[in-house]
A and B are shown apart, each in its own frame.
Chain A
Amino acid sequence: MADSKALYQEVILDHNRKPRNYGALADANHKAEGHNPLCGDHITMALRLDDDRVGAIAFEGESCAICKASASMLTTNVKGKTRDEAEVLIREFRDMATGKLDVATEPHHLGRLTVFGGVRDLPTRVKCAILPWHTLHAALNAAGSASTESEQDPMHAPIGDA
C-alpha cells in the first residue's frame, strides 16, 4: 500500500512552505508553462541559459505540495548544470517516479531528489511530482508548454466521473 507518510517528509514539507527560487525571472531566455488538468496545478518555469549552462532559474504558480516541492528542489538541483546534465536529471527523475529506475540499486544523479521516490506507489500523484520536470524539459527545448495530459506523455491516463 502507498506510504504517503514517507512521501510527506520534512524536506518536502519545508520546500512547500518555503519554496526556493520562487517568483519571476526578469532576464529569462527560456520559459515554459506546465499544467495538470486533474488537479488544476499550473506552474511557470523560467531560466536563463548562459551558453549551455543554467545560470538562473525560477518558478511560480499554484500547485499541490508535491508539485511545489518538486519544482523548488528542481531549481536548486538544476542551477549551474549544463543542458545535457539537466536532461539526464529529468529522465532519471521521471524514471524514478514511474518506477522504472530503482534508486536503491541502480546508479543515478538524483541526490536528495530521491525523497520523491515514494510517489511511484501513488499513481494519481506521480504527475504532480513530474510536472515541474516536464515543464523544465519544455523550457529547455522552448516548446512553450507542458501538460501531464499530452499525447506523448507516458503518464497519460484518462480522468473522469463525477
Chain B
Amino acid sequence: MSSLPTKRAAPGALDVASIRADFPILDLKVSGKPLVYLDNAASSQMPQPVIDRLVRYQKEQHANIHRGVHYLSETATAEFEAARKKLAAFVNAREEREVIFTSGTTESINLVMHGYGRKFIGAGDEIILTTLEHHSNIVPWQMLAEEKGAKIRVVPISDAGELRVDEYEKLFNERTKFVGLSHVSNALGTVNPVKGMIAFAHARGVPVLLDGAQAAPHLTVDVQDLDCDFYAFSGHKLCGPTGIGMLYGKAAQLERMQPFKGGGDMILSVTFEKTTYNTIPHKFEAGTPPIAAAIGLGAAIDYLTNIGMDAIAAHELELLDYATAQVNKLPGVRILGTAEHKAAVLSFVMDGVHPHDVGTLLNEDGIAVRTGHHCAQPVMQRFKVPATSRASFAFYNTMAEVDALVAGIRNVQKVFA
C-alpha cells in the first residue's frame, strides 16, 4: 500500500498504467489476445494490495470475532470493526453502527424487506419501485407484497432510460409506505436524481432504500447528503471479495426494525423463555460473518479512496463518452440508455445479431462483456429487446480497450454480414 499515494491524481488524469500494474489478472491472455475486461458492472477485479490483505489476515490474524478473549480473536475483531469504520467513512454515515455487514446488495435488500417491510408494511399498503430496478430490488418486495397483500407501484422510464419523476410523484398516496430505488441503473447506466426523489418521499413520511450496487463503485456516496434511509452495495463490484457487502441504515430505522436472521452474535441473552436482541449493528449480524472478506473490503475501500472517487468518476466518464461516440458511429448498432447523466455502462444491440452471438465472438478477441437481460427484465421489456450486450467500465480500463471493443463489434458485423 506504500506506493498508493503516488497514484493520486487530479480528476481526469489517472495514472492508469501504474494502476493496471496493481491488477495481476489484467495481464491475462484470453483466446490468445490480451484480456479486455469490460464486465465490471457484474464484478470488478481485485488489486494486489487487497489480495495481500486477505492473505495476511489468514496467515497472521484469523480467529472468530466478538467471542474469545485471546490475542487472535481480539485482533480479528479489531480488524473487522476497523473495516466497518472504513465503510462508514466511505459512505459518510453518522455512526459506525449504521453499517451492517451483509453478503451483498441482495442480502441487504432482503434484510430491509424482512426487518422493516414485514414489520411495518401491511395489507393494502403500497411500495414504489422503478422500471430500472435489478431483480434483487424487485423480487423481495414482490414476496412481501404477496405475503401481506401489499401492492407494488412502478415508476416508468423515458425512451432515454431516465426515470419519469413526474410520474413518480403521482404514484404517492396515503397508502404509500416504502420506496425502493436504484441509484444507478445496472442495465443502462442511468444515474437517477435520487436526492430530490428522497426529499419528495420524506415530505410524505415515506422511507427510501437506495440500491447502490452500481453507484458505489463509480460515484462519491454521501448518505447524509442524500438523506436515504437505507443504502446497499456489494464488495465485489468495488475491487473487494465476493460474499461481502453492506447495508447502511439510519440508526433510528435500524433500531425499530426486527432482526432478519436469528443466531449467535445477534443476541444479548437467551433463555427458552425470552431472548434479548443485541444492539445495532450486531442485531442484524447473526452467525460468524465472512471476516476475511469484510477486512478485504476495507482494504479495497482504502485502495479506492487513495486513488480518489472523484478521479475515478472523471476517468470512467471519459471512457464512457469516448465509447459512446465511437459506437454511435457504427451503423446497425444502437445504444440503449441515453440518459443525460450516466455512469460507466454502455448497453447496445446490433441489427441482425443476437447479443449472445456478440458476446461469444467478442470473447474470441479477448473482450469480456455481459450479454443477456442483466437481471433487469422490465428494462428489456420496456425497450422490446430480449437482451443486450453491455460493456461496463472501471477506472483501470483504457481508451485503447474502448478501441478494441469497437474493432471487436466491427468484426462481429463482418462475420454476420
Give CA–CA (A8, B31) in the complex, Å: 15
Interface hit among A21-29, A36-44, A106-114: A36-44
Specify which of A39, A41, A124, A162 is in contact with B134 (CB 8 Å cutoff): A162
Interface positions, chain B 333-387, Cβ under 8 Å from A, are: 353-357, 360-361, 363-364, 371-375, 380, 386-387
- A103 in the interface (beta carbon within 8 A): no
Interface contact B30-A39, CB-CB below 8 Å: no
Give CA–CA (A66, B30) in the complex, Å: 22
Closest-by-CB residue of B relative to A36 is B356
Give CA–CA (A5, B412) in the complex, Å: 11
Residues of B within 8 A of A65 (CB): 353-354, 357, 416
- B9 in the interface (beta carbon within 8 A): no
Give CA–CA (A103, B364) in the complex, Å: 24
- B103 in the interface (beta carbon within 8 A): no
Interface contact B43-A161, CB-CB below 8 Å: yes
- A155 in the interface (beta carbon within 8 A): no
Contact A13/B415 with A64-B357, A160-B375 known, Cβ cut-off 8 Å: yes
Nearest Cβ in chain B — how far from A53, in angstroms? 33
Contact A39/B387 with A4-B363, A65-B357, A162-B214 known, Cβ cut-off 8 Å: yes
Closest-by-CB residue of B relative to A1 is B31
* Chain A interfacial residues counted at CB < 8 A: 24
Specify which of B30, B360, B361, B380 is in contact with A40 (CB 8 Å cutoff): B380
Give CA–CA (A152, B41) in the complex, Å: 32
Residues of A within 8 A of B415 (CB): 8, 13
Interface contact B363-A2, CB-CB below 8 Å: yes
Nearest Cβ in chain A — how far from B385, in angstroms? 8
Nearest Cβ in chain A — how far from B14, in angstroms? 24
Residues of A within 8 A of B375 (CB): 160-162
Closest-by-CB residue of A relative to B415 is A8
Give CA–CA (A2, B30) in the complex, Å: 10
Interface positions, chain B 296-355, Cβ under 8 Å from A, are: 353-355
Interface contact A63-B354, CB-CB below 8 Å: yes
Residues of B within 8 A of A125 (CB): 356, 360
- B128 in the interface (beta carbon within 8 A): no
- A62 in the interface (beta carbon within 8 A): yes
Give CA–CA (A122, B361) in the complex, Å: 11
Specify which of A1, A122, A128 is in contact with B32 (CB 8 Å cutoff): A1
Interface contact A161-B42, CB-CB below 8 Å: yes
Give CA–CA (A160, B374) in the complex, Å: 9
Interface contact B363-A38, CB-CB below 8 Å: no
Give CA–CA (A63, B31) in the complex, Å: 25
Residues of B within 8 A of A1 (CB): 30-32
Give CA–CA (A41, B357) in the complex, Å: 12
Interface contact B360-A7, CB-CB below 8 Å: yes
Contact A162/B364 with A41-B386, A66-B357 known, Cβ cut-off 8 Å: no
- B186 in the interface (beta carbon within 8 A): yes
Residues of A within 8 A of B32 (CB): 1
Residues of A within 8 A of B214 (CB): 162
Give CA–CA (A13, B31) in the complex, Å: 21
Give CA–CA (A66, B415) in the complex, Å: 13
Closest 4 CB pairs of A and B: A40-B386, A64-B354, A64-B356, A65-B357
A–B Cβ pairs within 8 angstroms, 29 of them: A1-B31, A2-B31, A4-B360, A4-B364, A8-B360, A8-B415, A13-B416, A16-B416, A38-B372, A39-B354, A39-B355, A39-B356, A39-B372, A39-B387, A40-B373, A40-B386, A41-B354, A41-B386, A63-B354, A64-B354, A64-B356, A65-B354, A65-B357, A66-B360, A124-B356, A128-B356, A160-B375, A162-B237, A162-B374
Chain A interface residues (CB < 8 Å from chain B): 1-2, 4-5, 7-8, 13, 16, 38-41, 62-66, 122, 124-125, 128, 160-162
- Given contacts A4-B361, A38-B372, 14 further A-B pairs with CB under 8 A are A4-B364, A8-B357, A8-B415, A16-B416, A40-B373, A40-B380, A40-B387, A65-B357, A66-B356, A128-B356, A160-B375, A161-B43, A161-B375, A162-B42
